[in-house]
Amino acid sequence: MTSLDKNHWFTEVSDRDGSAFSLRINKLLEQQQSPFQHVAMYETTDFGNLMVIDGCTMVSSRENFFYHEMIAHPALFSHPNPKNVVIIGGGDCGTLREVLKHDSVETVTQIDIDQVVTEMSLKYFPELCSANDDPRATLLFDDGIKYMRDAQAESIDVIIVDGTDPVGPGEGLFNHAFYQSCLAALRPGGVLVQQSESPLMHMPLLLEMRAAIKQVGFGALKTLPFPQPIYPSGLWSVTLARKGLGFDGFRACDPDALNTLYYTPGVHQGALAEPPFMTKAFNQQG
């Protein structure tokens, strides 16, 4: 046996990947079984606090900036003037904080099914929740799939799907019906962005997701890879899709004003430079 005993380490075994990732912990801070999932918070020795949902690492203090910046900024800067934004999931509120850095944004509605996630984040990741009281923000705790189904047609500029893996509560966020709702709710030129797993480890899933998004009628797709140290393989992605238009560049921001740790226009451009291992897989799909 290894020395990764449960009193000193949190371990996520990813059966589908044949890999496991462990962080050394000082202690379990809190855990709750919500109506939807098991949510735990650990204090780690080197990654700050760590949120774990149903046994999967979700967010740590040390490295969440990669994910939150990359799910928010490429989508928003790909839109000429995003005013109304919806976040499905995102209960830790880190994505919300990044979205609210955009002056053009007039409203952001976040719909996470599980209030426990946000309550835990307020307590253990206060820095991610620093924009929750922004008057432009509305936090709902409800079913995001239903919310999108009922959304007014052509009322949203950017939809950010910041959900868990396509198992458990996040499953319904990866199918045709959901993407159709999103397409209908977006204004022309609107952008959908979704976390799209590891391009190294989960290409079949990514291809399936891209196919479903295309089939409901979105225009061009872009899958942007970025580092995600606590998820399997350390390489993750977001996939952007646009209603009625392709992706013709993006607005370049002043990176200092944006106050990011990873995202810059140069990093955005770099993430658009699709590596051949991804291009080959996408082309095989056609």
Catalytic residues: 162
CB of 157 to a second copy, least distance (A): 26
Contact of 21 with 37, CB cutoff 8 Å: no
> Which residues are part of a known binding site?
37, 68, 92, 112, 143-144, 169
In degrees rounded to 5, what are phi and psi of residue 266? -65, -40
CB of 194 to a second copy, least distance (A): 20
Q: Which of 275, 239, 225, 227 is nearest to 63 (CA)?
A: 227
CB of 213 to a second copy, least distance (A): 23
Nearer to a second copy, 1 or 103 (CB): 1
Nearer to a second copy, 5 or 133 (CB): 5
CB of 9 to a second copy, least distance (A): 7
What separation in angstroms does the CA of 50 have from each of 47, 196, 252? 7, 21, 32
Nearer to a second copy, 11 or 285 (CB): 11
Q: Which residues bind a second copy (CB under 8 A)?
A: 1-6, 9, 11, 13, 17-24, 44-47, 62-63, 65, 200-201, 225, 227-229, 233-235, 255, 260-264, 266-267, 269-277
What's 165's DSSP letter? -
> Which residues are part of a known binding site for S-methyl-5'-thioadenosine?
37, 112, 143-144, 169
CB of 108 to a second copy, least distance (A): 23
Q: Which of 122, 143, 155, 190 is nearest to 36 (CA)?
A: 143
Distance CA 179, CA 83 (A): 21
Q: Which of 196, 169, 174 is nearest to 54 (CA)?
A: 169
Using CA of residue 128, residue 130, residue 131, residue 133, what is the dihedral sign? positive
Distance CA 86, CA 66 (A): 20
Contact of 211 with 173, CB cutoff 8 Å: no
Nearer to a second copy, 16 or 123 (CB): 16
Helix (H) or strand (E) holding 280: helix 276-285
Nearer to a second copy, 244 or 270 (CB): 270
> Which residues are part of a known binding site for spermidine?
68, 92
- The burial class, CB within 10 Å (0-12 / 13-18 / 19+), for 212 is middle
